[in-house]
Amino acid sequence: MPNFYGTEIASRLMLGTAQYPSPAILAEAFRRSGAGIATVSVRREAGGERAGEAFWALVQELGVALLPNTAGCHSVREAVTTAQMARELFDTRWIKLEVIGHADTLQPDPFGLVEAARILVGEGFEVFPYCTEDLVLCERLVEAGCRVLMPWGAPIGTGLGLNNIYGLRSLRAHFPELPLVIDAGLGLPSQAAQAIEMGYDAVLLNTAVARAGDPAMMAEGFARAVEAGALAHAADPMEPRDMAAPSTPVLGKAFL
């Protein structure tokens, strides 16, 4: 099972908490998923409304580890300030760091991401950076003090799956001991299974479950998929080959 900053998590599935049709459906999706971590974003609200208190109570009742994130931040300053707020609100050093660089693709800003990671690590945060599969960027994040990397499979909310298999395999091979999580872009359980089969430690998703016709059923599907992927990876699967190979032995066969 994945181990993040010394904390072992009981599931390879991580779920976001946004966009669900209702709080009850969110809770049921988490129950059927067995997810070990819930991501939560910090949103500004008027002080007199206290609208976030009911949501915070619901999240606490899920009984899973919380990973606050800096979703929607487009600058280093905004991301660092949001992380500081999250630490006070959720009483955790964990932070999923997002510094968005492109409005249409929601691709991370690599320069701002590294700068923000360095600042937050210096302040004692345990940073989970949302990044691309670029090896150079990931090396800079590790040098900044990140002990987990969270490369995207595809742009957030697209459901396109693992767009760059070569890049993701290269990243896994380059950091064999570092916890790696596929974050964003997954749309189907089969894509999650593929990521775990490749040796990734976990997957994080939100839209694929929250926007499904039956979010709880889809959550359970993803839970089963990551278990299947983990078994396949541990079983040392056969290598693909170009030529056919008979599965039935020909030794002793009568040739007429």
The pLDDT assigned to 33 comes to: 94
CA torsion, ordered 186, 192, 198, 200, to nearest 10 deg: 80
Which tokens sit at 216? Answer: 């709880």
How much of the chain, in percent, has pLDDT values that exceed 90?
Answer: 78
The pLDDT assigned to 47 comes to: 44
Do the annotations mark residue 206 as ligand-binding?
Answer: yes
Question: Which range (11-20, 25-34, 137-146, 235-244) has the least confidence?
Answer: 235-244
Do the annotations mark residue 145 as ligand-binding?
Answer: no
pLDDT digits (tens, 9 = 90+) for 148-195: 999 999 999 999 999 999 999 999 999 999 999 999 999 999 999 999
pTM of the model: 0.90
Question: Which range (73-77, 103-107, 204-208) has the least confidence?
Answer: 103-107
CB neighbour class for 178 (10 Å; exposed up to 12, middle 13-18, buried from 19): middle
Task: Count, in order, helices (H) and strands (E) of the chain.
Answer: 9, 10
Rounded to whole angstroms, the Cα distance separating 18 from 116 reads: 24
pLDDT digits (tens, 9 = 90+) for 194-233: 999 999 999 999 999 999 999 999 999 999 999 999 999 9
Average of per-residue pLDDT values in the chain: 91
The pLDDT assigned to 241 comes to: 86
Do the annotations mark residue 185 as ligand-binding?
Answer: yes
The pLDDT assigned to 190 comes to: 97
The pLDDT assigned to 248 comes to: 75
- Please give the positions annotated as active site: 96
Which tokens sit at 200? Answer: 């990734």
The pLDDT assigned to 63 comes to: 86
Do the annotations mark residue 207 as ligand-binding?
Answer: yes
CA dihedral sign of residues 170, 147, 152, 81: negative
Q: Is it the case that residue 46 has pLDDT exceeding 50?
A: no
pLDDT-derived band at 49, boundaries 50, 70, 90: low
Q: What is the DSSP pairing of strand 94-97 with strand 202-205? A: unpaired
The pLDDT assigned to 55 comes to: 78
Average pLDDT over residues 5-13: 94
Distances (CA, A) of 196 to 114, 168, 169, 192, 239: 26, 11, 11, 6, 16
